[in-house]
Structure formats: structure tokens, C-alpha cells
Amino acid sequence: MTSLYDEFRVALHSVWTRRWLVLAVAWGICILGWLAIASIPNRYDSRARLLVDVNEILPDDAQGGGGRPQLDQIRETLTSARNMEKVAATTGLLPAGANEREKAGAVGMLQKNIKVIPQQDNIFEITSSVAVGSLSDADNAKLASGVLDSLITVFRDDQLRGGRMNAREGLKFLDAQIADREKALREVEARRAAFEAQNIGLIPGGAGSPAQRVEAARAELGQIDSQLVAAQAQLAAANGQLAATPATISVPGMGGVGGGVARQQLAGAQSELSAMRARGLTDAHPDVVALKSQIASLKAIADGEGNGGGGGNAQNPAYASLAAMRAERQATVSALNARKAQLAGDIARITSQQIQNPGIAAEYDRINGEYTAFKAQYDKLLAQREQVRLRGDVQTETDAIKVELLDPPTKPTSPAAPNRPLFLTLVLLAGIGGGIGVAFGLGQVRTSYATAAKLERASGLPVIGSITEVVTPERHVERRKRLVWLASGGGALVGLYALLLVAEFIQRGMVA
């Protein structure tokens, strides 16, 4: 512990003997550091908050992607080069007649010092930092808020004009594309009509390729086969029930009833035929054809019955109902058989045409495919044009994007950077520490010994004694004078530091 204390005393003595060097180094470091700090311009920050509300009168598909992509685009548009150039020209950062290099420099400086931070989906905080060395602190503070004012104004104007201009340009582009597609569509239609006229009778009708039509016919044929089996089973059941049911029943005490069963069935069938024609069914309809055939058969039976019936016998209602059901099921079976025959004929005809004229069918399919593709593109462009027109109407009649200033740009009263009081203090401490370090280092380099013990350890020889310094009254007065000078030099350094602090706070007060 004693050795450590001695080393501290030796180091302190070494520094004290070189106190003028400490003061000189401290002054040099402080002067250089304070000059460097003074050359750094003060940076002033201004902040504002914007609410950007996207008008959602139209659905998302008619607005072109919904609100979120538009908000992302707005965030990028705020700091675009075009907007920055307008802001630089408005605030005076870009003089009139500036060349491209000056414009690029001003735009780059603004883009670097303007930050857009999204706080919520449609709320943005904009920060502007200005530190122009050629301007005073008051001008820099005024410019920081002026940049945000100009940026918000430019952004509002661009959104108002840009949306309507984009809608007009979009309509113009879509009209040109629609005209091109319409021209191509007409050319394909003309080629298809010419091809059909040239190969009339060889081209199968209907939509789709021959293979697709055959596949559709076969699928429908399979469904009809299933329906036909079920209809035939129902018809067989109706026939069995009708055969087991008597046509008339005996009613005690009742006289003969005029008209036989066949006449009554004939009247029912004719009533059903009238109902079918009232529904709009033509004579070529399979149900009508089957019912007319049944009416002809019933007429022949009714003519053979004559006018009288068995005395005391009446028509069986169950038999009449079963007869009507059987007629209906016979008509269903006949219609299914007719449709089955038609589908089989279509399949045979298409297959025969493919075998006999494969090239014609393939070319016709190619033309049809080309027509379908152009038609789909044409319809899609028409739908897009209608959407763009609707967006243009919305932007003309209303504000498509509403920009509301939640917090206006702040007026900075103190610089955000640099922190001069802190930097001045750090430079002062660095100057004092640097002076002490230089003095201590110089004492370590020079081969002198402050105590007899240190000399004894260094030489390895015993030291008999040491002679203390004798200070005369004249030398004592001289030392006191030098101490006063040293204190004055140190006090002047501290006073200069305090003066710089006072000047900094006065300068800030002038900005406010």
C-alpha cells in the first residue's frame, strides 16, 4: 500500500513539475476542439402528422387494389424526387436557373433529411431536419418548418391533380387497347365466316371443339340411359297395376251410364293435350307427339264401344288415374328414346366428319380458339375501362384521397443536434486530461528520479542520503508569482469555456 502511495506521489510530482506543459496542451486541445464544434452547424428538426384517408365509395376491385396499396404508394410519393425538387424551389434551397447537378444535390439533401414514419395504417409522422452552414440558426429553424409546409402543400396538389390525370391517361390507354382488340376480333370473325362459307356442310355446329362436343354428348347420353331405365321400370309397374285394375265397378241401384271408359280416357287425354299447348309446347315436342298417338288409339277404342254402357256399372276412378299415369310415363319413355337417338346421331355425325375431314376441323378449332382468346381480352379491357371511368368520376365529384393535417409543422426553438454544452464540456475535460497525460508520459521517458528509494531500486546501489532543495525568499516570491500566472491561465481556460456556454444559450434564445 505504501509503495502504491509513493508511486502516486511520484506521478503527481512528475505532472506538477511540468504544469506549464499541462496548461499549454490543455489550451491547444480545447482551442482546436471548440473551433471544430463551432464549425458544425446547428440542426433544427420540425415534425408534423398527416391523416391520409382513402375514399372507399367504390368497391376494392373498382378502386384498383384497395386502400392499403394506395397508402404504401402515398408514403413513397411523399419523398419522391419530383416532390423534393418542387419543395427545394419553393423554399429557396434551389435558386432559379439551377443546373441539373445543383438540383440533384438539393433533392438528395432533402430526401436524406426528410423521414416519413407510419404510426398507423393511414397516419404518418413527417420529420424535417435542416442544418445549412451558410444560414443562421434562425433561418435554419424557419427553413425546417417551411420545408414541411411546402411538402404538404405540394403533396395535396399532386394528389388532387394526379388522380384525375391518371384516370384520363388510363382511359386513353385502354381506349387504344380496346380499339386494337376490336380490330383483331373483327378480322378473326371475318376469317371464321369465310372459312365456314368455304367449308359449309363439313363443319360441325355447336360451341367447342369436336372432341369436347362428343364428350358432352356421351356424358348426356349416359345420364339419359340411367333416366330411361328408371322410366321404363316405372312404365312396367304402371302397366302391371293397370292390368290388375277393373275398368268399371258395379254400383247397386244405379242405371247405365252413358259413354264408355275409352271415351272418358279420350276426354282426359284431350284435356291434357290442351294444357300442354297452353304451356307453349309445340306439336314437335316428344310429349305432345306421344299424347297425340295415345289420343288416336283411344278414339279407335271409343268408336267401338258405342254410346251405351252396362246397366248399373260406373267407371272405376282408380283405373282412370292409372291410365293417365301410364300415358305420362309412356310419353317420358318416348321423349328419352328420341333424345337418345338424337345424341347418338350427333356423335356419329361428328365422328364421321372428324374422320373424313380432320384438317378442316382442326383449322376451325384453331380459328375458334383464337376468337375466344381475343374475345376474353376484349371483354376484360371493357370491364377495366368501366372501372377506370368510375374511379375518374369519383375523383372528379369527390376527393379520392383526403389529406388532413393533424399536427401542423412545429417551430423549433432549440437545435436538435449537436449538443454543444455537452461537447464543450467533453473538450474541456479532454484538454485537461490530455495535458496531464502528456506531462506524465514525458516524466516516464526522461531518466530522472524523484525519490532516493526510486534511485536505489533503479541502480541497485545503496543511497546514503539526499539533499533537499533550499528555497530563498526571492525564489519563494518568484514561485508565488508563477503560481498566480498558472492559476490565471487555468482560470482563463475555464472562463472561455463558461463564455462559450453562455453564448450558446444566448444564441438559442435569439432563435426562440
Burial class for 161, CB neighbours closer than 10 Å (0-12, 13-18, 19+): exposed
Contact yes or no for 489/24 (Cβ under 8 A): no
| DSSP run (H or E) holding 50 | strand 44-54
What cell numbers appear for 461 in the block?
546501489
Confidence of residue 59 (pLDDT cuts 50, 70, 90): very low
User: Three-class SS of residue 448?
Assistant: coil
41: DSSP letter: P
Q: What pLDDT does residue 72 have?
A: 67
Burial class for 447, CB neighbours closer than 10 Å (0-12, 13-18, 19+): exposed
What cell numbers appear for 207 in the block?
360451341
Among 18-22, 48-52, 301-305, 488-492, the least confident range:
301-305
Q: What pLDDT does residue 312 have?
A: 47
Each residue's pLDDT tens digit, 315-329:
677 777 888 888 888
User: Three-class SS of residue 246?
Assistant: coil
Burial class for 166, CB neighbours closer than 10 Å (0-12, 13-18, 19+): middle
Is it the case that residue 494 has pLDDT exceeding 90? Answer: yes
What cell numbers appear for 325 in the block?
299415369
| Cα gap 115→207, rounded to integer Å | 60
Is it the case that residue 394 has pLDDT exceeding 90? Answer: no
Contact yes or no for 418/36 (Cβ under 8 A): no
Is it the case that residue 102 has pLDDT exceeding 50? Answer: yes
Helices 210-243 and 317-356 sit at what angle, rounded to 10 degrees?
A: 160
Most confident of 20-29, 52-61, 110-119, 128-137: 20-29
Percentage of residues in the chain having pLDDT higher than 90: 12
Burial class for 298, CB neighbours closer than 10 Å (0-12, 13-18, 19+): buried
Confidence of residue 378 (pLDDT cuts 50, 70, 90): confident
Cα distances (angstroms) measured from residue 200 to each of 189, 191, 359, 471? 16, 14, 14, 137
Among 47-51, 371-375, 483-487, the least confident range:
371-375
| Cα gap 341→348, rounded to integer Å | 11
Matching residue, cell 368520376: 393
**Of 282 and 232, the one with more pLDDT:** 232
How many residues are present in the chain?
Answer: 512
Output the pTM of the full model.
0.48
Q: Of 139, 132, 125, whose CA–CA distance to 110 is shortest? A: 132
Contact yes or no for 138/116 (Cβ under 8 A): no
| Cα gap 18→16, rounded to integer Å | 5
CA 323 distance to own-chain centroid: 69
> What b/e sequence results for 275-293 when a residue is b if at least 16 CB atoms lie within 10 Å of its CB, and e otherwise?
ebeeeeeeeebbbbbbbee
| Cα gap 192→375, rounded to integer Å | 14
Each residue's pLDDT tens digit, 115-130:
888 887 778 888 998 8
Each residue's pLDDT tens digit, 414-466:
888 888 899 999 999 999 999 999 988 887 776 666 666 666 776 777 877 77
Q: What pLDDT does residue 65 have?
A: 43
What cell numbers appear for 200 in the block?
359449309
What average pLDDT does the structure give for the chain? 78
Determine phi and psi for 310, rounding to 5 degrees.
Answer: -60, 135
Q: What pLDDT does residue 199 have?
A: 65
Is it the case that residue 361 has pLDDT exceeding 90? Answer: no
Long-range contacts of residues 83-88, Cβ cutoff 8 Å, at least 24 apart: 83/151, 83/154, 83/155, 83/158, 84/110, 84/111, 84/114, 86/150, 86/154, 87/147, 87/150, 87/151, 87/154
Q: What is the DSSP string of 410-444?
A: P---S-SB--HHHHHHHHHHHHHHHHHHHHHHHHH
Contact yes or no for 228/333 (Cβ under 8 A): yes
Contact yes or no for 329/278 (Cβ under 8 A): no
Q: What pLDDT does residue 235 have?
A: 82
Q: What pLDDT does residue 83 have?
A: 85
